[in-house]
Amino acid sequence: MSFYKNGNFVDLCRGPHVANTKDVGVFKLLRVAGAYWRGNEKNPQMQRLYGVAFATQAELDQHLERLEQAKLRDHRRLGKELDIYTVSPLVGAGLPLFTPRGTILRDIFAQYSNQLRQNYGFEKVWTPHITKTNLYETSGHWAKFGDELFLVTSQETDDKMALKPMNCPHHTQIYASKPRSYRDLPVRYLETTTDYRDEKTGELGGLNRVRSLTQDDSHVFCRSDQIGAEINNLLASARELYGSIKMPLRVRLSYRDDSDGYLGDKALWASAQAQLKAAVMTNEIEYFEQDGEAAFYGPKIDFMATDAIGREHQVATIQLDFVQPGRFGLEYTDNEGNAQVPVMIHCALLGSIERFMSVLIEHTAGWFPFWSAPEQVRVLTINDTVLDYVSDIRTVLGGLVLMKPVKYNELRYTVDDRNESLGKKIREATNFKIPVQIIVGPQDRDAREVSIRSQTGEEKIALDELAQYLTSL
């Protein structure tokens, strides 16, 4: 905070300030707006000028280019143009509805995130969307987040119920459903499910902030000596996931400081923080450390992903938890027969899938990687004389199951054999940002070839090689 002073005029302003306008550097005015002196319409009207300034022209140009790019990539605009999601005043603010295309996109990323963790022994669980509020009183969430809960009333019982705002307390109850020995640990649960939070309606817009948020959530219950190995698995999964969409990652290691606000044994904190750091270094992920940024119940790793126009987004989190297992009385029997409390590790790789989708749309500008595109291939006919040949092409496409990076996905393709000009068909396919367009004309038919049109250019491929071409993308 600083003050700007000019004659007897003093203004409170965040700054920074320069002594003279000649020190501003290069600047550009972005817009003007009318304003009344002191916000009162009876006072004289003034012009308010909005602009940006940088030390060099190159920095200014870069900033303006980025603003332009951000506008073109706005996920609210592209979400509509590419038919990914919609909103309805009848359903409500912050409750986006996903179309068939958007749902494919959501599902395939959730499937990928699950498969990555299933490689490391995570098992799927399922929990209901409503629960007694007692659960959150025990977990401690009620005291902290009570006003964010959607409440539900039963017409049968007096139970106070709520829509779940998170899944951790539920997963503790699955862990608690039977006795555990040190040999059973780690226990790893995975659930992609929607949570509900009563965000203020003024803060809702697009997919960034929603009241129904889907998490690719997971919880590990482990011994304190297993923390490092578990973190290692999660880091490797996150690195692979964000690598697949070409988003570089860096992480923040959030530690405790010396204040008293933290719960849990100090030695456990020290050991856990050392294990987090070691795992990050083993995975060669860029990191920085911050004391005092941990949650009161444990240290964490926050992932920041950089998008195609250089903006950084907070995505996944790995959160250690020394408190919740104790609140729920979770135990395991150690090798000497004594009861011990497990450590809990919370992790969602995508974070909120809705928010992830907004980042993905803006990062790719709607050109989703081939494997994740809702419609991967569209066949465009030049005229009706090729329809028999198109059925040969259908036979190839219909039999394709893709295995990389997500396993067991049938190729998603359509055929546009309408009686329209090829130019119009190409325009429509390109507007939908379909990664592979297969153009079929009489010459292609006679040569048993197809013409492939993609972002990298055009090429001819023999029909016999089409399957191999598509599986290698």
Catalytic residues: 168, 197, 215, 217, 219, 300, 346
Residue number with CB closer to Zn ion (43 or 314) = 314
**Other beta carbons less than 10 A from residue 50's beta carbon:** 9
- Phi-psi label, residue 329: left if phi above 0, alpha if psi -120 to 50, beta otherwise: left
Q: Which residues contact 357 (CB under 8 A, 6 or more apart)?
A: 75, 84, 85, 102, 105, 106, 207
Alpha carbon distances (Å) from 94 to 86, 89, 131, 316, 443: 11, 10, 22, 21, 51
Classify strands 436-440 and 377-381 as parallel, antiparallel or unpaired.
Answer: parallel
The CA R_g of the chain, rounded to the nearest whole Å, is 27
* CB 289 to Zn ion: min, Å: 23
Q: Which residues sit at the interface with Zn ion, rule CB under 5 A?
A: 168, 346
In degrees rounded to 5, what are phi and psi of residue 227? Answer: -55, -50
Residue number with CB closer to Zn ion (146 or 405) = 146
Residue number with CB closer to Zn ion (168 or 406) = 168
Residue number with CB closer to Zn ion (294 or 429) = 294
Taking the C-alpha atoms of residue 95 and residue 116, their distance in angstroms, rounded to an integer, is 28
* CB 348 to Zn ion: min, Å: 8
Sign of CA dihedral 354, 359, 364, 365: positive
**Other beta carbons less than 10 A from residue 465's beta carbon:** 12
* CB 279 to Zn ion: min, Å: 19
* CB 118 to Zn ion: min, Å: 18
- Phi-psi label, residue 393: left if phi above 0, alpha if psi -120 to 50, beta otherwise: alpha
Residue number with CB closer to Zn ion (127 or 244) = 127
* CB 144 to Zn ion: min, Å: 14
